[in-house]
Amino acid sequence: MQEIITLQTHQREILIDITPMVEALVQDSGVAYGIVNVYAQGATAAIMIQENWDESIQSDVVNLLRKLIPRGVWLHDAQDGNGDSHLKSGLVGPSETIPIIDGRLGLSTWQNVFFCEFDGPRSDRHVLCTIIADE
């Protein structure tokens, strides 16, 4: 089964918690045991599993990546000014695979699934979720 989550982003760089949307797709699928792959479609976006206790972790991730990969110093900036966005998304990676256990995401108490926007704002971002049953 495959479903697409559609998002709008309102900042250039932000992590958006999509855990409830992914969890709903898993529950709707009826799959009790298996995996779900969560994939960001876009060369300047990524998927990350991270803590969501408060927003400090998300801010820390964005701030770390800004320090590691600053804006405006890359060859690709000559094309469209977002060389840093491509590098950030490549470093974080486009997907995560999560086990499905008893019909629920097999995340720990402190883990959530985040869509990482590195080149926003965008009116139409897609996250492809592929659910595979363990049969």
Cis peptide before 121 (omega within 30 of 0): yes
pTM over 0.85? The answer is yes
| pLDDT at residue 55 in the model | 86
Expressed in percent and rounded to 5, the helix, strand and coil fractions of the chain are 30, 40, 30
Looking at residue 76, its pLDDT comes to 94
CATH architecture, range 2-133 = Sandwich (2.60)
Sign, CA torsion 77/81/84/85: negative
Question: For position 133, what pLDDT does the model report?
Answer: 98
pLDDT at 52: 87
HSE-up of residue 133 (Cα within 13 Å, Cβ side): 9
Separation between Cα atoms, residue 135 and residue 123, nearest integer Å: 38
- Helix/strand/coil for 106: coil
20 CB-near residues (< 8 Å, 6+ apart) = none
Q: Are 126 and 6 contacting, i.e. CB atoms less than 8 angstroms apart?
A: yes
Tens of pLDDT, residues 66-119: 999 999 999 999 999 999 999 999 999 999 999 999 999 999 999 999 999 999
Per-residue pLDDT reduced to its tens digit, 24-43: 999 999 999 999 999 999 99
Tens-digit pLDDT profile for residues 36-64: 999 999 999 999 999 988 889 999 999 99
Q: Is the pLDDT at 11 greater than 80, yes or no?
A: yes
Q: Cα 100 to chain center, whole Å? A: 18
